[in-house]
Amino acid sequence: MSLIQTRAQISGTEVARRLREFAHRGASDTFPENTLLSYGAADVINVTKFNRWAEGDCRITSDGKLVMMHDATLNRTTNGTGNVVDRNLAYIKGLDAGSWKDSSYSGTEVPTWEEVCTLSNTHKLKFFLELTSAAWTEAQCTEALGFWTDEGNPMQNIIVQSFDIDSLDNMRAVNSNVWCYINDGNYTVSELISMCNARSKFGVFINKTLATSTNMATFISANIDVNVYTLTTYSEKTTMISRGVKGITSNSYLTS
């Protein structure tokens, strides 16, 4: 039975239950993005919200530590300056990562990936991790997965994304059971499909503008698992469900 046939035979509610919903950089509408506050927000960890995940970006510091930060620089979301890769952990940990969002969040720290793993274990939080630095080595991928598995969080509760295919290949070399998603970047639909077909447990993470009815039909016919970013309305959510996406990313929980 094809994916399209399966979806045609079940209700919209049941499709929603099977949908992965990624809280973009945590509950970033309300809390400072990529912090323990945003990852630990109730609308992220609440198990009644069907299949909720947190999504976050990880970068590597000058001393090789893994920290949560979307931008290459510290300027936008902290009171620090410079590139993450040029600053050590001690410097980054001394920064205020909350006041840019609201003064009530003053003093919020940039979390390490290890701290996020601890939070995830406490709440059994599923996580969609983006590798946002330049190509990750096998050693760095081993460290990242070590923080997760050492704490006993099931491996099916983490999936990994990147614009860099080499980083994902290195992640899969460390653990072949980890699902990986290649970000669309400048790739064509056919290039994305070719990369996925050459690997097992690979899907695509694409901009919602690329998830047209035609493109989605092409992905589905090739048995490619598709996640999309970043939705802002419930109408967009229902449209993406109707087209057969498996996961959506949003800054807040989208409901009617």
Domain of residue 110, CATH code = 3.20.20.190
CA-angle at 60, arms to 33 and 232, nearest 5°: 25
Residue 216 lies in a domain: yes
- The pLDDT, as a whole number, for residue 89 is 98
Alpha-carbon distance of 83 to 133, in angstroms, equals 11
64 Ramachandran zone, left/alpha/beta (phi>0; psi -120 to 50): left
What is the Cα Rg of the chain in Å?
A: 18
DSSP assignments along 211-254, one per residue: --HHHHHHHHHTT--EEEEEE-SHHHHHHHHHHT-SEEEESS--
Judge contact between 107 and 82, C-beta under 8 A: no
- The range of the structural domain enclosing residue 168 comes to 3-250
Active site residues: 24, 70
Report how far apart, in Å, the C-alpha atoms of 75 and of each of 27, 54, 95, 163, 190 are: 21, 23, 11, 22, 37
Residue 8 forms part of a structural domain: yes
Q: Which residue type, as a one-letter code, is found at position 168?
A: L
User: Residue 150: what pLDDT?
Assistant: 53
Q: Where are the alpha helices (DSSP H) in the chain?
A: 3-8, 12-18, 36-39, 42-45, 89-93, 113-123, 138-150, 165-174, 189-197, 213-221, 234-243
Say if 120 falls within a structural domain.
Answer: yes
Does the pLDDT at position 221 exceed 90?
A: yes
As a whole-number percent, the residues of the chain with pLDDT over 90 amount to 76
Query: 256 in a domain, yes or no?
Result: no
* Total number of domains in the chain: 1
Query: Is position 188 within any domain?
Result: yes
Residue 213 lies in a domain: yes
C-alpha span between 118 and 214 (Å, rounded)? 41
pLDDT band at 188 (very low <50, low <70, confident <90, very high): very high
Q: Over 60: is that where the pLDDT of 210 sits?
A: yes
Which pLDDT score, from 0 to 100, does residue 103 have? 98
Query: What 3-state class would DSSP assign to 158?
Result: strand
Q: Give residue-wise pLDDT tens across range 132-163.
A: 978 999 999 999 999 986 556 788 889 999 99
Could you tell me the two tokens for 77? 């979301």
255 assigned to some structural domain: no
- Does residue 12 lie in a domain region? yes
- For residue 151, the model assigns a pLDDT of 56
3-state secondary structure of 206: strand
Q: What is the pLDDT of residue 12?
A: 45
Global pTM reads 0.90
Instruction: Determine the Cα–Cα distance for residues 158 and 141; give it in Å rounded to an integer.
Output: 13
Helix then strand then coil, % of the chain, to nearest 5: 40, 20, 40
Tens of pLDDT along 61-120?
A: 999 999 999 999 999 999 999 999 999 999 999 999 999 999 999 999 999 999 999 998
Q: Pick from 69, 86, 58: which is nearest to 162 by CA?
A: 58
